[in-house]
Structure formats: structure tokens, C-alpha cells
Amino acid sequence: MREEGVKYGVMEVSSHALDLYRVAGMKFEAAVFTNISPEHLDYHKTLENYREVKSRLFSHLSQDKFAVINLDDSNADYIKEKSGGQKYFYSLDSEVADLYTKDFKLHQRGMEYKSGGRIESLFKLRLGGIFNIYNSLASILTANLLGVEAVSIEKALAEIDSVPGRFEIINAGQNFQIVVDYAHTPDGMKNVLETAAAMDKNRLIVLFGCGGDRDRSKRPAMAELAEKYADYTIVSNDNPRSEDPEKIFTEIKSGFSESFADYEIIADRKQAIQRAVEIAEEDDLVMLLGRGHEQYQILNNKKIELDDRQVAYEAVSALKGI
């Protein structure tokens, strides 16, 4: 990067990178806190340990650097207390923050919102999801603190295309909407389902699964979210890896209430997607969660070619006669 004359480097600093000293000695101009959710507990063991490790990115900031913090996250005060440097906050609706939204609109092709605080402007993005409002607010505030002009920020955000597999809209000419998203944790699933709740639609059909050989505690939690937000749920394989899929399904089902019946289990992911498309009606929203951009499924530790997006396109063509 130095040889190529790169002046700005933006990186995601993982908890593993912090705990294993992979970024030791690096001096960051700004550190951004988005949120903390129960992840990587197979490594950190407790959420408290995980949070402490994440906070190290902020505690190492010198006084002339910037800590940009999501005021709406429950861990905001903790990160604030741990942070060195100058502290700035962003929020979805709190006018106490340095940057916030006054109102926002989500539609099938993206979003737009008015910001208040340090920058008062109308931002239009070709992205979906409430989480992307948070991400863009963090980006706007950080760029502004680093001296980037508001007009340049507006232009850059307007030109960004969605990341493959992240709230990616599948349009094959159907009269309902299909969204593919990588959400594979309770926090990620909650984010996309809250976005779905805010969108104009008829029914919400959710397809999800849970990866094998990974944190098992998230399985019933994700089932609870599906029951809360979806009108109908299809449980299917994610990446079972070496774990028995039936065991995963059993642990997912434990999160459904005893009276809940608006779901079915279809182990074969391709068949499950076809089923979701088959039952979808006009103005429904079908969300295929968990695998996003992935093009292979890991079953019995063997890679099987499977792309949710491609399967969705094929299912619409075959089952809807398009």
C-alpha cells in the first residue's frame, strides 16, 4: 500500500487480531464501534471477555485520534469509558449524538435519509437494511472527522453498489421480492428482519439454518426471531459441516414456542429455496438467510456447489413460468 501511494487504509479489526497481537504497533487515526453481539464465544468463552478484547482497539488511541461510537448499542458506555482519543457518537434517532438521522425511508432499490448534527444533508444509497443506515452514519462521521468534505461523502455513498450477498435483491421478473443475506447470527438476523418489518410488503417468508460445528447457543435464538417476525418460516441446512443436520434442526426447533406451527423443515437447501419461491404470492417478501454470497455448501466436510442467489433465479424461472 505504501509503494502504491495509498493514503488511507480502512480495515476491519477482529477480536482475534486484537487478542493475538496481529495489529500490535499499528497507530489508527480513528476507530469505529458498530456493535457487539454474542460471537466467537468458542474462542473468548464469555461475552465479557469478548467485549474487553474488542475495547482494546479504542483504549490504545492517543489523545489526538478519534473514537467513533454507535450510541444506540448497549455497550456504548463501556466503549466510551475504555476509549482514548476524542469521542464522537452516531445514532439512528438520538439528537444527542454528533450525527443522527431525522427520518429514513427504505424501498426496494435502496434507502434515503436526512442527517442532523455535524452534517445536515439528504443521503441516498443503493443499499438495503437498517444496519446499512448505521454503517453509513459511521462512515460519514468518520470521513468528516478526517477532513473529507460533505459533498464528496454524499457523492461517494450514492455510487456504492450493494455487497454481494448482503441484502442482495434478486429480481427475475417475479411479482414478489427476494432478498439474499449473509445474516447467520441472532444479531445479524435481527437486523435484517427489523428492516423487513419496516418495508412495504404482504407476507414475510424467511428461510434460514445454522452452521454445524459452531456456537450452538444461537440456534434457538434465531428460531425465536423467525417466529417473531416471519409469517412463515422454512428451516433448512446452512453449512452442517461434520455435524448431523437433524441434531441442528432439533436445537433450532427448541426455540419455537409449543403452539408455533407456521414452519416446515426441508433439509435440502435447493429444495427449500424452491419451496419458498413456490408459496410466495404477489407483494410477499422472501428472505434467504445465512449463506449470502457463498457458492459452496459444506456437508459432511465436502464442498457442494450451491449458490442461494442462482438457485433463487432458477426457481423463479421454473416455478413461475418466467
Which pLDDT score is estimated for 93? Answer: 79
**Rounded Cα–Cα distance for residues 88 and 141 (Å):** 8
Which pLDDT score is estimated for 18? Answer: 92
Which pLDDT score is estimated for 246? Answer: 97
**Rounded Cα–Cα distance for residues 291 and 168 (Å):** 12
Which pLDDT score is estimated for 103? Answer: 84
Nearest 5°: the CA angle 246, 249, 255 is 150
Backbone angles phi, psi at 173, to 5 degrees: 90, 5
Q: What is the pTM of this model?
A: 0.74
Q: What is the DSSP annotation of 71-120?
A: TTSTTHHHHHHH--SEEEEEESS-TTSSEEEEEEEEETTEEEEEEEES--
- Give the three-state DSSP class for 147: coil
Q: pLDDT 10s digit of each residue in the chain, 322 long?
A: 889 999 889 999 999 999 999 999 899 999 999 988 767 667 767 888 888 999 999 999 999 999 999 999 999 999 999 999 999 999 997 899 999 997 888 876 788 999 999 999 999 998 888 888 999 999 999 999 999 999 999 999 999 988 899 888 888 889 898 999 999 999 899 989 988 888 878 999 999 999 999 889 999 999 999 999 999 999 999 999 999 999 999 999 999 999 999 999 999 999 999 999 999 999 999 999 999 999 999 998 899 999 999 999 999 998 766 5
Which pLDDT score is estimated for 320? Answer: 65
Residue 275 is placed in which grid cell? Answer: 419451496
Which pLDDT score is estimated for 121? Answer: 92
**Rounded Cα–Cα distance for residues 200 and 63 (Å):** 46
Q: Which domains does the chain have, with CATH numbers?
A: 15-159 (3.40.1190.10), 168-319 (3.90.190.20)
Backbone angles phi, psi at 236, to 5 degrees: -145, 180
